[in-house]
Structure 1
């Protein structure tokens, strides 16, 4: 991944620096409104990361010790960690083999009397079937972890639209970036106001509003809050990036279609694709190696690296990491297959046809050499 950054971003950041107001302020408010509108939500609440956005979302749900929250193990570890931050227990559910997402069946299999919420991840930008999962949850809150999903769609609307709470990431590996940073979107105005207070220490009046008031304003601290703020420097970057989103998605989908065509010649590879109910932004382009391909995932990564191709292991499985050693979980056969046999290939806005040809050729050479004993 390589973020798409240019002179317009540099100028926007420089303007904020010259203004003297670099902390959370008017640019953050502007970015919140613009992002929420683009994602089909009523309100946006900027945060320091998607991890803090998840933590804050669970906090306002009252999640705490003794509670269980259903999450996919097949996700970046922050998804499960956010549950632990609240003192609750993450319960790992398996995922669909094609999308890498939770399904109604895999969620239903692990619901218990102690389940208080579900975190649904739109993994690598592939939208999950939100309505089906919400239906099986029977009123339990569903927090949508849309960290990777800006620009993806679900049933004709932006992924995350209509969510009671959806969380987003602006890390440089995402389509649009603020360096670090995140967002919560919601249609609930009362909840949005509380989230804004909590991300700024629980202050009754934000620092920006206090300074803009022009008089003596004494704030109150109504509940224990957090320092989860975004800065105006980051928001200025985000506003420019947001204008690029549609073009970035279109380019990534074009590149992904070409990858899929080139890789169709390789027996035993299955590439990520759109689900029937939506479209992916191809935040990551991953391929699954089936049993016909003898080379291991790690050996393939090593062979690609030797050929000058920077690939990455597929989506991690949190339950296999040392941080979750001994954590009880139901059988997760699909998760373990996907995480051990998938590879993420290079994909970014400026990737050329020649770059793609080289990636595919190196991959073909590595697979052929192992499977058929041919020399490169």
Structure 2
């Protein structure tokens, strides 16, 4: 196992340990002052007015749909080419997912693919920064805004990516973020909702804590706390101060994380450039990616198919993953497949795989991966 190259590893160290120790010593480990600080610093980093920490990106998406006014029976246009949580969140509020195809190069929805999926009942669009590649939010909003359709950015993978020189999420009315260990910035589990609408932020913060009129932290701080009331059905979507303390340290590391990943990506891209039948993910014209995932597409000219390349990497003790799933192929959502299909989504799902990408991936280990990419058949022998 010592020679195994994992597909990802979080970058955590002594600073995170010290931050956790401080929280433990304080005696307050639930949602409290460190969550509030993490929210302020994250909002500033992504140039949003407000941030609300949650248990995951999924719960942030759930709250985003609620505060944006999406209700039972509304239609929400989303990519099938995304982790199933994107689709599940739509169902949590009783809305109807409508799948849009994606650009075959970036893997993201576009203004055109969204326009093709709109219905008279469409009330929202969820646009995903897939694998860290920034979605062209301006293009999508040019279609949605004139129709009064809210665009929610699923920026789960997007921390550190840019769109036209600004941080991903800066141009969104509302966005949801993930701090899962597969993302650059991790709190173990955790998420964030960001928005420029004060009323949406206030309601999201209210809903994440059971709809209580007085937060647990406020009650703890008062010797004689006021009686709390509950004016709507809420949820337990709270982040802990333990998680937030790690997040604060990780946020400070983010520029270095992105720079390192972009250097690793450049080495992969240079190597793949000379291999017939392989196409590597790259920056789109409208922004830069953080390379949360580095994927390649396997074409017919390559000596083997995607499954064969995965096998060759495994033989070399290198862990890789099949590309992004297609939600419309899963049992709960097959009946929602549009009659014309989703050809770009299906091609990318069938032909892409994710290569090892993490902060401390050495050049020597990356060269092991590159050797297999250049000679997958010889590698299996």
Note whether the superposition's TM-score is higher than 0.5.
Answer: yes
- Equivalent position to 1:105, from 112, 136, 140: 112
CA contact under 8 A between 2:315 and 2:380: conserved in structure 1?
no
Report the alpha carbon displacement of residue 326 of structure 1 after superposing the two structures with TM. Answer: 2.6
SS of equivalent residue, structure 1 residue 325: helix
Could you tell me which residue of structure 2 aligns to residue 71 of structure 1?
78
- Equivalent position to 1:318, from 317, 327, 333: 327
Report the alpha carbon displacement of residue 265 of structure 1 after superposing the two structures with TM. Answer: 1.8
Tell me the alpha carbon deviations over residues 311-369 of structure 1, each in whole angstroms, 9 at most, x when there is no partner: 10011111112332333424200000001000100010000111111001112221x55
- Equivalent position to 1:162, from 163, 171, 186: 171
Change (3 A) 1:8 1:375: closer
Could you tell me which residue of structure 2 aligns to residue 340 of structure 1?
350
1:101-180 matched pairs, under 5 angstroms:
101-137=108-144, 138=146, 139-180=148-189
CA contact under 8 A between 2:78 and 2:87: conserved in structure 1?
yes
CA contact under 8 A between 2:10 and 2:184: conserved in structure 1?
yes
Note if 1:222 corresponds to 2:231.
yes
| 5+ residue gaps, structure 1 | none
Moved more, 165-174 or 354-363: 354-363
Moved more, 336-345 or 9-18: 9-18
Report the alpha carbon displacement of residue 105 of structure 1 after superposing the two structures with TM. Answer: 0.5
Change (3 A) 1:204 1:256: same
Could you tell me which residue of structure 2 aligns to residue 4 of structure 1?
11
Provide the aligned C-alpha RMSD in A.
Answer: 1.3
Note if 1:327 corresponds to 2:311.
no
SS of equivalent residue, structure 1 residue 326: helix
SS of equivalent residue, structure 2 residue 304: coil
Could you tell me which residue of structure 2 aligns to residue 38 of structure 1?
45
Tell me the alpha carbon deviations over residues 234-278 of structure 1, each in whole angstroms, 9 at most, x when there is no partner: 000100101000000000001100111111121111100111111
| 5+ residue gaps, structure 2 | 1-7
Write out the 4+ residue segments of structure 1 that deviate beyond 4 Å after TM superposition: none
CA contact under 8 A between 1:287 and 1:343: conserved in structure 2?
yes
Report the alpha carbon displacement of residue 222 of structure 1 after superposing the two structures with TM. Answer: 1.8
CA distance in 1, matches of 2:349, 2:309: 14
Report the alpha carbon displacement of residue 375 of structure 1 after superposing the two structures with TM. Answer: 8.0
CA contact under 8 A between 1:162 and 1:186: conserved in structure 2?
no
CA distance in 2, matches of 1:340, 1:289: 9
TM-score relative to the length of structure 2: 0.95
CA distance in 2, matches of 1:153, 1:5: 24
SS of equivalent residue, structure 2 residue 336: coil
SS of equivalent residue, structure 2 residue 97: strand
- Equivalent position to 1:193, from 202, 214, 238: 202
Moved more, 6-15 or 141-150: 6-15
CA distance in 2, matches of 1:16, 1:247: 25
CA contact under 8 A between 1:162 and 1:187: conserved in structure 2?
no
SS of equivalent residue, structure 2 residue 335: coil
Moved more, 28-37 or 132-141: 132-141
CA distance in 2, matches of 1:58, 1:66: 13
CA distance in 2, matches of 1:181, 1:298: 32
Size of the aligned set, in residue pairs, is 371
Moved more, 319-328 or 302-311: 319-328
CA contact under 8 A between 2:210 and 2:235: conserved in structure 1?
yes
Note if 1:309 corresponds to 2:328.
no
Note if 1:270 corresponds to 2:267.
no
Note if 1:237 corresponds to 2:246.
yes
SS of equivalent residue, structure 2 residue 51: strand
SS of equivalent residue, structure 1 residue 30: helix
TM-score relative to the length of structure 1: 0.96
Could you tell me which residue of structure 1 aligns to residue 5 of structure 2?
none
